[in-house]
Amino acid sequence: MEDTKQKVVDELEQIPREKLPEIYDLIHHYRVGLEQGGSRRDQILALAGSWKEMPEEEFNAFLDDVATRRSKAFHRRCKQ
Look at residue 48 in the predicted model and tell me its pLDDT: 78
| 13 alpha carbon, distance to own chain's centre | 27
DSSP label of 70: H
Length of the chain: 80
Phi-psi region of 68 (alpha: psi -120 to 50; beta: other; left: phi over 0): alpha
The predicted pLDDT at position 65 comes to: 92
Are 15 and 23 spatial neighbours (Cβ–Cβ below 8 Å)?
yes
pTM score, whole prediction: 0.43
What pLDDT score was predicted for residue 6? 93
Is-contact 13 6, C-beta < 8 A? no
8-62 residue pLDDT tens: 999 999 999 999 999 998 888 888 877 777 667 776 777 777 777 888 898 889 8
